[in-house]
Amino acid sequence: MFDTQLTLPDLKTAILQHLTYTLGKDAQNASVYDWRMALSFAIRDRIVGPWFASTRRTWAEDRKRVYYLSMEFLIGRLLEDACVNLGLRDLAVQAMEDFGQDFSSIVENEPDAALGNGGLGRLAACFMESMATIGCPAYGYGIRYEHGLFRQRFEAGHQVETPEDWLLSRHPWEFERPESAYTIGFKGTVENRDGREVWVPGETVQAEAYDTPVVGWQGKWANTLRLWGARPTTLFDLERFNRGDYTAAAEPETLARTLSRVLYPDDTTYQGKELRLKQEFFLTSAALQDILRRYLKNHNDIRALPKHVAIQMNDTHPAIAGPELIRLLTDGHGVEFVEALEIAQACLGYTNHTLLPEALERWATFTFGNVLPRHMQIVERIDAWHKDEYHSRPHYVGIVKHHEVRMGELAFIMAHKVNGVSALHSELIKKNLFPELDKLHPGRIINETNGVTPRRWLRMCNRPLSNLITDTIGDGWEDDLDRLRDLEPHVEQKGFRDAFGAAKRVNKARLSDWLRTECGVSVNPDAMFDVQVKRIHEYKRQLLNILETIAHWHAIKQNPKGRWVPRVKIFGGKSAPGYAVAKEIIHLINDVASVVNSDIETRDLLTIVYPPNYNVSMAERLIPAADLSEQISTAGKEASGTGNMKFMMNGAPTIGTLDGANVEILQEVGRENFFLFGLTAEEVLKRREDGDHSKKAIEASKPLQDVLQMIAEGRFCPTQKDRYHGLVHRVWHHDYFLVADDFDAYRAAQAEVDRAFADRDRWLRMAAMNTARSGFFSSDRTIRGYMKDVWSVEAAL
Ligand code: 26V
């Protein structure tokens, strides 16, 4: 149901109307910003129809709704995505051209909404788009951060953070809903009134709703992303003000202003910060109050809630939903405790996204009890109930242990389904993270392998390849991605393979131009583009990549006349501001880049680029141009990965370990189309038992010794030769992520990549097979899994 009625003159009229009457600008002197606003409003108008229709149908048919609670929605830019899904992109390009405007420049004028750190936040955004495409009635609930993830710059190779300010310019996609506001309490006391516990908060803020419609493929359905902004309940405390205590009088305003001010940028280590707990409760309480209000509009039996409401917790960040729902049901609606608990459980699902112990949320009971005194009581009651109900529960298992509230255990116990995000990860949750709870609740832990939306990550970001696909197998693959399998017979034809190569070449040329203008680096578009983009983490092993790059450079220098395959090594990603080791790795990559890139001897064979401030928009530019996808985490550490799926879809074979969803990518694409290397998750555990594992691995590898020696000697930092002594020492003696142990295998796999790439026809076959077999990784498939296994929701389409 593309909006075929809309003609070019209609669209142009709509744009001019908005330019004139919404923006108050004359076309004569409108800026790119003005045109972007005018076009966005004109496009937004076309979403409102399907949005109202979807909402009305959901009400009329009394459909069950999904509520996706997430502290992060990494949505990126919205204009082109909306154009693509409404089938209006070509028309919009033409309209803007008629106005003398360049569509790409207008699209790029939009700030990249970075309301998330990485994988978890982007997954939430892909899910929103898939739910709209499938017609799954759903609301996303999140926080309207004034400042998204920090911007990254490099100063002399160091990461420097600056605040992000996407909301400084008008955000044309949202509708403010001042009428949908809720009071959120913190602190205070719990009073017993006539045998009932009543929470009397010491501080309050208002949560105010901002709605962004999310339209699915072909505009058949649209859902709402509802983000909460904090407002003071009272402007100031008049009593204190009158006493002359002006600073204290402004406290309510200060709390509100800080609550939704900034996204926490640390996705590495959890640090029990009170403000973070307040943000989590703010989101969760506002969402639950909104859910109950909507439910009670046309139902009166609160006990039937699970028949109409499914609530998904994106990691433990909204895990306070369990106790809060119990509180609302008991204190607010007079439901008895155990019944309230069972209602909450039947509504709630919990998705785990990490096994890293340092990232698991735990709150000191002191902090938790201080910020949420009533919830502390409820948590203790849940824990006691669970212990009672499951006699065989070992003494060391529980929600409250060692003066801490463990959010993983709380989420697990309060959910009817707990899921991991890849087959391997879900097994490891059972085996290592929650073995005892798994025994007590067999069948509760399930798997829902992640996916990505092919509309944004193929149709929108890679037009040359999308057009080739449509020319080859017809349309309709965008919302039925398994149809990409129909490409397979064509892969046998040289004509198709060459066309596939030509599409990739267009993307590589475009990226090369961008790298020249944005980073001042010139690269050869016919070289292999080898890309590793993701947050910088030790377990993701960007260090392994740069060490191997140094070895490769060294090998070229020792045999400059050899038949080397030219490579461009592309890195991208941010480190958490306080993660010193990750920042050191960034510095090393930049240092190595400046030495290697100025080496005349290797200039045509190896270039290293690290464009700063990797974000969704940069991913849309880099991934379609990639030849090789680096997915090299220490096995057992990457829960799933979703970048790996985007590269595969865009025809870049993976060099990777048996980790996360790589396992399933390998299974789908076949061994011959994947560069597999490295220890398995089991072998990793075994290897660590030997305290000298890294030392032994280094002693057995001359190339690795040479690399470490070059770094230690200061080859890449002549002005401060001891800069990386600590780093080298850690590789020798404290190599927890087994960089040294996997080095030789990685290097051998890279040599195999070179051989494959040198055989153009072999390479194109592999690349095309990756696209053809990527259908499984559509987030539509993932969402259908949740709808069936977790939410029991039917699609409306
Ligand atoms: C963790 C933390 C820790 C405590 C405080 C704040 C905070 C904020 C974000 C995170 C994110 C860690 C979880 C995460 O992003 N996991 C990633 O989820 C992806 C989607 O499932 C998955 O593909 C990645 O493998 C996984 O690392």
Instruction: Tell me the pLDDT band of 453, cut-offs 50, 70 and 90.
Output: very high
Share of the chain above pLDDT 90, in %: 95
Question: Ligand 1: which of 353, 533, 575, 664 to mutate, judged by most atoms within 8 Å of the beta carbon?
Answer: 353
Distance 352 CA to ligand 1 centre (A): 9
Can you tell me the mean pLDDT for 18-38?
98
Can you tell me the mean pLDDT for 10-26?
98
Catalytic option among 534, 567, 569, 765: 534
Catalytic option among 416, 497, 537, 540: 540
Can you tell me the mean pLDDT for 676-700?
98
Catalytic option among 64, 308, 646, 773: 646
Catalytic option among 642, 654, 771, 782: 642
Distance 129 CA to ligand 1 centre (A): 20
How confident is the model at residue 196, as a pLDDT? 87
Can you tell me the mean pLDDT for 11-36?
98
The C-alpha atoms of residue 202 and residue 739 are separated, in whole angstroms, by 51
Instruction: Tell me the pLDDT band of 235, cut-offs 50, 70 and 90.
Output: low
The C-alpha atoms of residue 713 and residue 720 are separated, in whole angstroms, by 10
How confident is the model at residue 250, as a pLDDT? 82
What are the residues facing 151 on neighbouring strands?
162
Distance 657 CA to ligand 1 centre (A): 19
Instruction: Tell me the pLDDT band of 2, cut-offs 50, 70 and 90.
Output: low
The C-alpha atoms of residue 405 and residue 323 are separated, in whole angstroms, by 12
Closest by CA to 140, choosing from 64, 61, 221, 213, is: 213
What are the residues facing 348 on neighbouring strands?
311
Confidence check: pLDDT of 501 > 90: yes
Question: Ligand 1: which of 69, 115, 277, 315 to mutate, judged by most atoms within 8 Å of the beta carbon?
Answer: 315
Closest by CA to 623, choosing from 750, 546, 544, 532, is: 532
Distance 120 CA to ligand 1 centre (A): 5
Check if the beta carbon of residue 162 is closer than 8 Å to that of residue 488. Answer: no
Question: What SS3 class is residue 109?
Answer: helix
Instruction: Tell me the pLDDT band of 234, cut-offs 50, 70 and 90.
Output: confident
Model confidence, pTM: 0.98
Atom of ligand 1 nearest to the CA of 359: 3
Amino acid 516 reads R
How confident is the model at residue 516, as a pLDDT? 98
Atom of ligand 1 nearest to the CA of 641: 23
The C-alpha atoms of residue 256 and residue 465 are separated, in whole angstroms, by 47
- Cα four-point dihedral sign 215, 217, 219, 222: negative
- Ligand 1, atom 23, lies closest to the CA of 641
Residue 671 DSSP label: G
pLDDT tens digits for range 533-548: 999 999 999 999 999 9
Can you tell me the mean pLDDT for 472-493?
98
Atom of ligand 1 nearest to the CA of 270: 4
Instruction: Tell me the pLDDT band of 3, cut-offs 50, 70 and 90.
Output: low
Confidence check: pLDDT of 579 > 70: yes
Confidence check: pLDDT of 651 > 90: yes
- 444 C-beta neighbours (distance < 10 Å), count: 18
pLDDT tens digits for range 302-360: 999 999 999 999 999 999 999 999 999 999 999 999 999 999 999 999 999 999 999 99
- Ligand 1, atom 14, lies closest to the CA of 120
25 classed as catalytic: no
Phi-psi region of 108 (alpha: psi -120 to 50; beta: other; left: phi over 0): alpha
196 classed as catalytic: no
The C-alpha atoms of residue 561 and residue 543 are separated, in whole angstroms, by 28
DSSP string, 595-640: HHHT-TTTTTTEEEE--SS--HHHHHHHGGG-SEEEE-PPTT--S-
How confident is the model at residue 253, as a pLDDT? 86
Question: Ligand 1: which of 73, 120, 275 to mutate, judged by most atoms within 8 Å of the beta carbon?
Answer: 120
Question: Ligand 1: which of 74, 122, 262, 354 to mutate, judged by most atoms within 8 Å of the beta carbon?
Answer: 354
- Cα four-point dihedral sign 108, 113, 118, 119: negative
Residues lining ligand 1, judged by CB closer than 6 Å? Answer: 117-120, 123, 264, 266-267, 270, 315, 353-354, 359, 361, 421, 450, 638-642, 660
pLDDT tens digits for range 158-174: 999 999 999 999 999 99
pLDDT tens digits for range 586-616: 999 999 999 999 999 999 999 999 999 999 9
- Radius of gyration in angstroms for the set of CA atoms belonging to the chain, rounded to a whole number: 27
Mean pLDDT of the chain: 97
How confident is the model at residue 688, as a pLDDT? 98
Lowest pLDDT segment from 50-64, 190-204, 394-408, 746-760? 190-204
Which tokens hold the place of 526? Answer: 């016919």
- Ligand 1, atom 2, lies closest to the CA of 267
483 classed as catalytic: no
Confidence check: pLDDT of 1 > 60: no
The C-alpha atoms of residue 301 and residue 339 are separated, in whole angstroms, by 13
Atom of ligand 1 nearest to the CA of 425: 25
- Ligand 1, atom 11, lies closest to the CA of 267
Let me know the angle formed at the C-alpha of 171 by 166 and 174, rounded to the nearest 5 degrees.
Answer: 130
587 classed as catalytic: no
Share of the chain above pLDDT 70, in %: 99
The C-alpha atoms of residue 637 and residue 737 are separated, in whole angstroms, by 9
The C-alpha atoms of residue 762 and residue 742 are separated, in whole angstroms, by 26
Q: Where are the alpha helices (DSSP H) in 372-478?
A: 373-389, 407-414, 423-428, 435-440, 454, 463-473
When comparing pLDDT for 241 and 78, which is higher?
78
How confident is the model at residue 211, as a pLDDT? 98
Question: Ligand 1: which of 267, 535, 659 to mutate, judged by most atoms within 8 Å of the beta carbon?
Answer: 267
Distance 355 CA to ligand 1 centre (A): 10
Distance 353 CA to ligand 1 centre (A): 5
510 classed as catalytic: no
540 classed as catalytic: yes
Question: What SS3 class is residue 219?
Answer: helix
Confidence check: pLDDT of 4 > 70: no
- Ligand 1, atom 7, lies closest to the CA of 267
